Amino acid sequence: MDKILFLGCGSWGAALGLVLSKNGYDVTMWHRKDSIVEKMKDSRKHYLIPSLHFPDNISFTSDAKTAIQNSSTVIISVPSQSIRGLLQKYSNSFKKEQTIVNVSKGIEVDTLMTVSEVINDIMGDQFRRVVTLSGPSHAEEVISDHPTTLVSASTNQDAAYDVQQLFATEYLRTYVNNDIRGVELGGSMKNVIAIAAGVCDGIGFGDNTKAALLTRSVSEISKLGVAMGAELKTFQGLSGIGDLIVTCLSQHSRNRKVGQAIAKGQDLETILGEMQMVAEGVKSAKSVHQLSLKYQIEMPICEAVYQLLFKGKDPRQLVTNLMTRELRKEN
């Protein structure tokens, strides 16, 4: 049976690790802090989600080097902005025949690389089994065995199908897609839109506003994605519209909670300081702003989120600005 390593064991990594353990795989969860590793070893509970109990075929370690060397599949589940540093530290421990799976959603600030591009940049072309697993999913619901769908995306179709098989259960269904750039862009940009959705909730707007936000956001995301070489149909699928819906509407969404708190008057630094988990949309808002300028794509909603987060603009005024722009055709 394959040995699976999770580099990072936050809520999403832990939820996926639980799936693989139920499928009979030997799973190791890595965390950089010895204290957290020991806590999970002793309690058999997740350090952020006490209701998550780990079965006996999940082990824990803070020794990334040895764990990487002993695994056939390495799943990267740390925040996207931390991946470059992690891989630079441990790149020599990987073997080129290993499958590297990214389950994080973000665009690296300044380099404007997706996670798979960061992996390729650090690891080199000899690593040909790089896959991104994405889609509309919250850890809390996967842990509870709620029916969920994901997308296994890679330019290497054999690797994509292998990951599809890994995550096949009665309640988790995974599809294959060869447009890894589109899948990653959709998964990253929807976090930015979720902040805007939270602002709508925080102000007290209703269903009309949320419907307009989601629909017009699909247009923005698709235009930038296509300009970057992704396929339009990807943004109409699970990693596009699907992920956008779940992140913008769910009570579990960290990014939505950030927008909601800002609309109620809290400052960003305080909000992020009080969160136990990372809201990827904050850093991705800066990356998307940079990408929109680079590719000369007008993205008024994403730009409004950027202005809200990094320029301190008033959320109500930003909404007014969006609604009073020059009138135009829908498409």
- Active site residue ranges: 190
Strands 130-134 and 148-153: antiparallel
CA distances from 301 to 89, 105, 114, 180, 297 (A): 37, 19, 21, 24, 12
Sheet holding 58-61: strands in order across?
A: 58-61, 26-30, 3-7, 73-76, 99-102, 130-134, 148-153, 172-177
Largest Cα separation within the chain, whole Å, is: 61
The tokens describing 175, both together, are 């599809």
Q: At residue 85, what is the residue type?
A: G
Return d(Cα 308, Cα 281) in angstroms, integer.
12
Name the residue among 27, 30, 142 with its Cα closest to residue 76: 30
Cβ–Cβ < 8 Å for 187, 134: yes
Which residue bears the tokens 């707007």?
205
Are 77 and 57 contacting, i.e. CB atoms less than 8 angstroms apart? no
**Is residue 117 a contact partner of residue 86, using CB atoms and an 8 Å limit?**
no
Are 178 and 153 in contact, with CB atoms under 8 Å apart? yes
Evaluate whether 184 touches 235 at the Cβ level (below 8 Å): no
Chain-centre distance of CA 53, in angstroms?
23
Question: For residue 325, how many other CB atoms are within 10 A of its CB?
Answer: 9
H/E run at residue 32:
none
Token reading at 324: 């009073």
